[in-house]
Structure 1
Amino acid sequence: MRTLDCISPIDGSVHARRPILSAEAAQDAASRARAAQPDWAARLLSDRIALVRRAVEIIGTQTDRMATELAHQMGRPVRYGGEYGGFKERADYMADIAPEALAPTVIEDSDRFLRKIAREPQGTVLIVAPWNYPYMTAINTLAPALIAGNAVVLKHATQTLLVGEHLAEAFHAAGVPEDVFQNVVLDHDTTSALIASRAFDFVNFTGSVGGGRAIERAAAGTFAAVSTELGGKDPGYVREDADLDAAVDGLMDGALFNSGQCCCGIERIYVHESLFDAFVEKAVSVARGMVLGNPLDPETTLGPMAHVRFAQVVRAQIADAVAAGATAHVPTFKADDGGAYLTPQVLTGVTHDMAVMREESFGPVVGIMPVGGDEEAIALMNDCQFGLTAAIYTRDAAAADRIGARLRTGTVFMNRCDYLDPALCWTGCKDTGRGTGLSMLGYQALTRPKSYHLKKG
């Protein structure tokens, strides 16, 4: 029997091993989801909302389990307490807006006609979730999909196998039928085969560009909707009028939290030349102050990267940049083992000819460049294959709005970064993909319009 193994970054041991579903068993799971969906959709909206809220509450009683399992599976320090805050915020908001978001749009209701546009569930939804924020990324689609009346099949990342199980346990305990929400363990070929066979009406994928391309190829010709969020190389820009300390604190947290393994983390920073030296000095101090170590230790502020191979990519980018003339400002930490435990790094003297400023790093490294003003910053921020978020630090909201209008990105932040507001659409452009998550628009993606033109009498 073939299995998938979660290798713990703490010590390289096998933390979890699960058998992979056969093609036949996987098809059966998808068929059971499709068969269960109509009855689920026929339930009162208020009932579906209540069950999702109850599942979230159950997870809330198990946050110690969440934090400890995340440390073992992907290396996030237990001091940060898991992901329940964001998990609950997103689920609650989508539950709150559901009655309005799913209500029909009535064009006419007269003695002659009823004309309206209703929202109907897509049907069966496949969620392919990533390991870096495994609870929050899953709930982004899971909560609104179930609330809207869809059945959901969740395929979680190998690195976070236990998260899918935890979610399924909680939702089933809350009363969501087992066939309506299923957690499955699949390999890539079986996943692609299911998509190609039109086992699902909607596919949500968060992961690599290569993975997104594979999903879209599998779905080609099925006419199933595909929503993708494929990472980023998110920039921060510190204008001349910025609050320097706030900019350093915000952008360096965005660069280093979760060992830099954030889709919307800050990977490159452009600082007005008048503030550049002071910014770099403070940024280096932040990086040098991180405590790299075992994520189960409450003193640790920076855990290992989720897998040795991820850390090696970052090391290679840093080495290549230094060889090309960049300066690395942080000496190697004692806890850096050459494997998953990686020293956080700040680079200057970088250019866009270097991979560290062009390709996704997904690790605790950030390159910082001086700029002469807005025009140069805008050009550099747009010089990227990705477009997920961009952060502008300034005291001038009108300027941030003007700059934001010229950025090819999904979200523009002012004086903050690395945050997902559930009231706003989570989306991207270019190689980041074209998903539409959360907000009122998230419900539009997870449902289809159905028009009624009823002539009376």
Structure 2
Amino acid sequence: MPSELITVSPINGQELLRRAYTGEAEIARIVQQARTAQKAWAARSLDERCKAVSAAVARFVANKSDIALAITRQMGRPLRYTPNEVAGFEERAHHMISIAAQALAPIEIPQKDTLTRFIAREPVGVVFTIAPWNYPLLTAVNSIVPALVAGNSVILKHSDQTPLCAELMVQAFAESGLPAGVFQFVHATHDTVRRLIQAPEINYVSFTGSVPGGHAVEAAAAGRFIGLGLELGGNDPAYVRADADLAQAVDTLVDGAYFNSGQSCCGIQRIYVAQSVYQEFVERAVALTNQYVLGDPLDPGTTLGPVVRASAAKEIHGVVDEAIRKGASNLIDAGRFGMAQAGNAYVAPALLTNVNHDMAVMNDECFGPVVGIMPVKDDAQAIALMNDSPYGLTACVFTRDMQAALRIGGQIETGTFFMNRCDYLDPALAWTGVKNTGHGVSLSALGYEPVTQAKSYHLRSL
């Protein structure tokens, strides 16, 4: 078993940092401290907790430039974009704090005879958040802030690719005055994570990651009867109707496919276009894709950075090669993107036509800058193809007809449905998925339900 994690920067393939994995004795101390601290934290008023978490968030985002640089160096997103993730962290945190009083208020039931009745929401206890590298702040904030506000303590385990995000976050929260033990982090191997999930002190697990990772979390929690929030894979579709604003659809969907080098669970991977506008859509998409600049993410001119590691780049190339062997055409010349070379983490964007659902790109998750585009004859065919997937995180339609969008949205198997936008989270709306995308919910008022336990009160007056 390895004793330390080693983070290699995808920018240059060189070692960025090393950290010792948290040892067994320290793990035992952390979980016990989390359990003890949670009791005192929950005893504080909701207003006190909201003010304390607000102060912690403010302390964290005050270091915006340092955090953004750390994200870029660890996972490769261009530095021109990473400050936006810090801003998104702040937006989501403040929204969840602002709705806490309403979301956590007791549900009053009309009095019956001499009975006063209501349902209260109480914290579950200790929340274990397992966060990924692709959006290291935006995935973590979804569970951390509502859990803390609701009166839980939180233990954060971040990806080995982005350990600095956990360290900087916990440090800022502690410096803001958050009580010791309420928010902690661990650097842990898969085996240690499994044992943590099985620890009796852990009362809820929030996991964002792959489908195999979700299976491992479920297996570890088997028989524990604790809540699990699992946000897993995606292969999100878009449908461009004949009445769409093509310029707007192309701008939005090309960005949705390639932003963060395609490393987004809700990124666009499949596009279905009405036959009458298919050729024009493809031509516009090719022209826009060719404007991307693949390069060093620390360069302000770069719009497309490396993927997370060289091995991931190899897997992405395999998806594209498999599609081409089966008859697909890649309309983007990789030679235009000089940084994309064998053995490194830089991947040129790929725009594939002549694709079908026998190809991995159209039915499996490909975590890279790759998109497949198919013509469709009508809404019915588009709906059938969009639903022909083991995943269901988001889906979108581009049209000028809202009634048509609502009709189509009602038939799509997905957690979030968009009209004329994609690849976006609104903190006021529930973030959830269906099928192999996982189960559970975060954000919105519903995001407080997984980190709380309902308690019913029957009070009889004599």
User: What's the TM-score, normalizing by structure 2?
Assistant: 0.97
Does the 8 Å CA contact 1:20/1:185 hold for their aligned counterparts? Answer: yes
**2:15 — aligned with what?**
14
**1:69 — aligned with what?**
70
Q: Distance in 1 between matches of 2:177 and 2:145?
A: 14
Q: 2:437 aligns to what SS in structure 1?
A: coil
Q: Which of 270, 273, 285 is the aligned partner of 1:271? A: 273
Q: Distance in 1 between matches of 2:440 and 2:107?
A: 24
Q: Which of 335, 338, 341 is the aligned partner of 2:339? A: 335
Q: Which of 248, 251, 263 is the aligned partner of 1:249? A: 251
Does the 8 Å CA contact 1:16/1:162 hold for their aligned counterparts? Answer: no
Unpaired runs of 5+ residues, structure 1, are none
**Does 1:427 pair with 2:432?**
yes
Shift of 1:362: 1.1
**2:409 — aligned with what?**
404
Does the 8 Å CA contact 2:391/2:437 hold for their aligned counterparts? Answer: yes
Q: Distance in 2 between matches of 1:147 and 1:337?
A: 47
Does the 8 Å CA contact 1:16/1:161 hold for their aligned counterparts? Answer: no
Shift of 1:214: 0.3
**Does 1:437 pair with 2:445?**
no
Q: Distance in 2 between matches of 1:328 and 1:380?
A: 21
The code of the aligned residue for 1:121 comes to: P
Shift of 1:198: 2.8
Q: Deviations over 1:329-372 (max 9, x none)?
A: 11112111222001011000011000111110011010000000
Does the 8 Å CA contact 1:198/1:224 hold for their aligned counterparts? Answer: no
Shift of 1:247: 0.4
Q: Distance in 2 between matches of 1:111 and 1:348?
A: 69
Does the 8 Å CA contact 1:77/1:303 hold for their aligned counterparts? Answer: yes
The code of the aligned residue for 1:67 comes to: A
Does the 8 Å CA contact 2:294/2:346 hold for their aligned counterparts? Answer: yes
Report which stretch shifted further, 176-185 or 425-434.
176-185
**Does 1:453 pair with 2:458?**
yes
Matched ranges for 1:55-454 at <5 A: 55-82=56-83, 83-108=85-110, 112-332=114-334, 333-338=337-342, 339-454=344-459
Shift of 1:109: 5.2
Q: Distance in 2 between matches of 1:157 and 1:117?
A: 37
Q: Distance in 2 between matches of 1:89 and 1:192?
A: 32
Q: Deviations over 1:69-92 (max 9, x none)?
A: 111100010111421221111111
Does the 8 Å CA contact 1:111/1:456 hold for their aligned counterparts? Answer: no
Q: Distance in 2 between matches of 1:109 and 1:4?
A: 58
Give RMSD over aligned pairs.
1.2
Does the 8 Å CA contact 2:261/2:306 hold for their aligned counterparts? Answer: yes
Q: Distance in 2 between matches of 1:129 and 1:197?
A: 19
Q: 2:162 aligns to what SS in structure 1?
A: helix
Does the 8 Å CA contact 1:197/1:222 hold for their aligned counterparts? Answer: no
Unpaired runs of 5+ residues, structure 2, are none
**2:54 — aligned with what?**
53
Q: Distance in 2 between matches of 1:259 and 1:81?
A: 13
Shift of 1:60: 2.3
Q: Distance in 1 between matches of 2:52 and 2:277?
A: 51
Q: 2:77 aligns to what SS in structure 1?
A: coil
Q: Distance in 2 between matches of 1:55 and 1:5?
A: 28
The share of aligned pairs that are identical, in percent, is 51
Shift of 1:111: 8.6
Does the 8 Å CA contact 1:423/1:439 hold for their aligned counterparts? Answer: yes
Q: Deviations over 1:195-226 (max 9, x none)?
A: 12333111000000000000000101000100
Q: Distance in 2 between matches of 1:113 and 1:320?
A: 67
Q: Distance in 2 between matches of 1:175 and 1:113?
A: 42
Q: Distance in 1 between matches of 2:71 and 2:199?
A: 34
The code of the aligned residue for 1:407 comes to: I
Does the 8 Å CA contact 1:27/1:199 hold for their aligned counterparts? Answer: no
Does the 8 Å CA contact 2:38/2:126 hold for their aligned counterparts? Answer: yes
Q: Distance in 2 between matches of 1:270 and 1:205?
A: 31
Does the 8 Å CA contact 2:8/2:74 hold for their aligned counterparts? Answer: yes
Change over 3 Å in CA distance of 1:162–1:416 after alignment to 2: same
Q: Distance in 1 between matches of 2:360 and 2:44?
A: 52
Q: Deviations over 1:119-161 (max 9, x none)?
A: 0001100000010010111111111000000000000011101
Report which stretch shifted further, 326-335 or 412-421.
326-335
Q: Distance in 2 between matches of 1:389 and 1:104?
A: 32
Shift of 1:56: 1.7
**1:43 — aligned with what?**
44
